[in-house]
Amino acid sequence: MAQNIYDDPKFFAGYSQLPRQVHGLKGAPEWNAIKAMLPPLEGKRVADLGCGFGWASRWMRQQGAASVMGYDLSEKMIGRARADTDDEAIHYRIADLDRLELPVDSFDLVYSALAFHYVADFDRLVGMMHRALTLGGALVFTIEHPIFMAASQPDWIEDEQGRKIWPVNGYSIEGERRTNWFVDGVLKYHRTMGTTLNTLIRQGFQIDRIEEFAPTTAQISENPGLAEELERPMMLLVSAHTT
Amino acid sequence: MAQNIYDDPKFFAGYSQLPRQVHGLKGAPEWNAIKAMLPPLEGKRVADLGCGFGWASRWMRQQGAASVMGYDLSEKMIGRARADTDDEAIHYRIADLDRLELPVDSFDLVYSALAFHYVADFDRLVGMMHRALTLGGALVFTIEHPIFMAASQPDWIEDEQGRKIWPVNGYSIEGERRTNWFVDGVLKYHRTMGTTLNTLIRQGFQIDRIEEFAPTTAQISENPGLAEELERPMMLLVSAHTT
């Protein structure tokens, strides 16, 4: 079973104060890039894996999705998602993505934001999603970028000229990474870009687009702290469809 | 026109002593990975872009390719390729990949090893290759990995624990990179993984496989210096086909 950090009170308290949790999708700088990768939502049956507070689930219904099933490991997240949602076509369920089995041929879109890097068995998950999608169905997801995750000490350092450097090592050595994020020892799984994309292809997906999120000039003007995201990609965005 | 470092006598002297130039394909640790990505060669019409001394061109004919056209910017490379080849179905031409136009619908496989990162206009090149290939034709190429190329000072540094770190910065800022390699100011073009793959997809290729070359345990036993290649990928290998 996946580690459930989200129900740790200390983690939850910190996490709930992140801009993207306070302000929803508008607080996520990569949201416009994600939107551009989504298929038209009108009439679609959507699964939202790692739905958190349900921000994206509700947005997709507003865009005309026929139904949205949101899944999350955290009781606290699902509890708040249910409290914040008044829509009979959105359902939230507690589920571990390392074990979840969606019904076969039941969804037109599987969406997931920043959840799959907590999943140990990506191959199982991708096969399951392929079975759950109809033919031509779309998969759009974001994960922490492997450049961001690989290193043993993933934090900025300065070079001799005082320029920021992001360290990379152990890139080809996949598996567990432990970091401290609100609490100590948050468990994530590093996979190379090659493994992520080849797993999708092998399980029957065709890759449509890859984005390594970088802020726009306008975003940096508004929030100068985002400039460091040009130095190394923090997030990988992928869209694909079943064949 | 692309920078022609290869005909610089100092560069050529150093370059010619690289294991992969002295020993050919056996001297390239990624060669087995490339071979696994190639389609069956029997009867295929092949273009080898950046063919150098012609090692791969000759190997492909040995595997049954009907014909091989090798292209390289360097007169010295093409001169030696011609001198080393005795096969009427292999032709070598001097050509700049920034300008080369192959005849339409004339090749079943386009292959290129470590040449495309010298090309300024990748979009033009990919469109041209797509037109030159028959429907379902294969493109297999290797480039320096964007993790390897991105940084302003692309060289190992040591962290406080004495562990090797590869520096990344400026990843999302694409374009010229200058490095010193046998001579000063070798000009390369950094593109993100996203740009490389999205360009292929937009021009009508379907991605089949991505490899970020990492040595096997057996390779490291034989050549312990290769272990550092596990820390960060130096080469990106891509296979795709036209649709």
Q: What is the pLDDT of residues A97-115, one digit of tens each?
A: 999 999 999 999 999 999 9
H helix or E strand, kind and range, residue B136: strand B133-144
Instruction: Determine the Cα–Cα distance for residues A169 and A185; give it in Å rounded to an integer.
Output: 19
Contact status of A207 with chain B (Cβ, < 8 Å) = yes
Contact A179, A203 (CB under 8 A): no
Q: How far is B224 from chain A (nearest CA, A)?
A: 16
Percent of chain A with pLDDT over 70: 100
- In A, minimum Cα distance to B167 occurs at A167
More confident call, A242 vs A13: A242
Say yes or no for a CB contact (<8 Å) between A232 and B171.
yes
Instruction: Determine the Cα–Cα distance for residues B92 and B82; give it in Å rounded to an integer.
Output: 7
- In A, minimum Cα distance to B212 occurs at A194
3-state secondary structure of B94: strand
ipTM confidence: 0.95
- The pLDDT-based confidence of B198 (bands split at 50, 70, 90) is very high
More confident call, B12 vs A57: A57
User: What string of H, E and C letters represents the secondary structure of chain A?
Assistant: CCCCCCCCHHHHHHHCCCHHHHCHHHHCCCHHHHHHHCCCCCCCEEEEECCCCCHHHHHHHHCCCCEEEEEECCHHHHHHHHHHCCCCCEEEEECCCCCCCCCCCCEEEEEEECCHHHCCCHHHHHHHHHHHEEEEEEEEEEEECHHHHCCCCCCCEECCCCCEEEEECCCCCCEEEEEEECEEEEEEEECCHHHHHHHHHHCCEEEEEEEECCCCHHHHHHCHHHHHHHCCCCEEEEEEEEC
- In B, minimum Cα distance to A214 occurs at B172
H helix or E strand, kind and range, residue B218: helix B217-222
Say yes or no for a CB contact (<8 Å) between B171 and A230.
yes
Residue B69, token pair as written in the block:
């056209």
Q: How far is A40 from chain B (nearest CA, A)?
A: 19
Contacts of A9 (CB under 8 A, 6+ apart): none
Query: In Å, how far from its chain's centre is CA B116?
Result: 6
Span B86-142, pLDDT tens digits: 999 999 999 999 999 999 999 999 999 999 999 999 999 999 999 999 999 999 999
Instruction: Determine the Cα–Cα distance for residues B51 and B70; give it in Å rounded to an integer.
Output: 5
Q: Which of A232, A236, A241 to mutate to test the interface with B (most CBs of B within 10 A)?
A: A232
What is the predicted pLDDT for the residue at B182?
86
Say yes or no for a CB contact (<8 Å) between A233 and B152.
no
Contacts of A18 (CB under 8 A, 6+ apart): A27
Percent of chain B with pLDDT over 90: 83
* Residue-averaged pLDDT of chain A: 95
> Which one of A150, A164, A198 has the shortest CB-CB distance to B210?
A198
Contact status of B171 with chain A (Cβ, < 8 Å) = yes
Instruction: Determine the Cα–Cα distance for residues A229 and B170; give it in Å rounded to an integer.
Output: 9
Contacts of B63 (CB under 8 A, 6+ apart): B41, B42
What is the predicted pLDDT for the residue at B1?
65
What is the predicted pLDDT for the residue at B5?
86
- A to B CB pairs, distance under 8 Å: 110
Instruction: Give per-residue burial for B108-140: e unless 16+ CB within 10 Å, then b.
Output: bbbbbbbbbbbbbebebbbebbbbbbeeebbbb
Please name which of B132, B91, B136 lies closest in space to residue B110, comparing C-alpha atoms: B132
Say yes or no for a CB contact (<8 Å) between A201 and B214.
no
Contacts of A212 (CB under 8 A, 6+ apart): A145, A233, A235, A236, A237, B171, B172, B192, B193, B194
Contact status of B163 with chain A (Cβ, < 8 Å) = yes
Say yes or no for a CB contact (<8 Å) between A159 and B157.
yes
| Residues in B touching A212 (Cβ below 8 Å) | 171-172, 192-194
> Which one of B168, B208, B211 has the shortest CB-CB distance to A194?
B211
Q: How far is A199 from chain B (nearest CA, A)?
A: 9
- In B, minimum Cα distance to A172 occurs at B230
Contact status of A83 with chain B (Cβ, < 8 Å) = no
Contact status of B166 with chain A (Cβ, < 8 Å) = yes
Span A179-235, pLDDT tens digits: 888 888 899 999 999 999 999 999 999 999 999 999 999 999 999 999 999 999 999
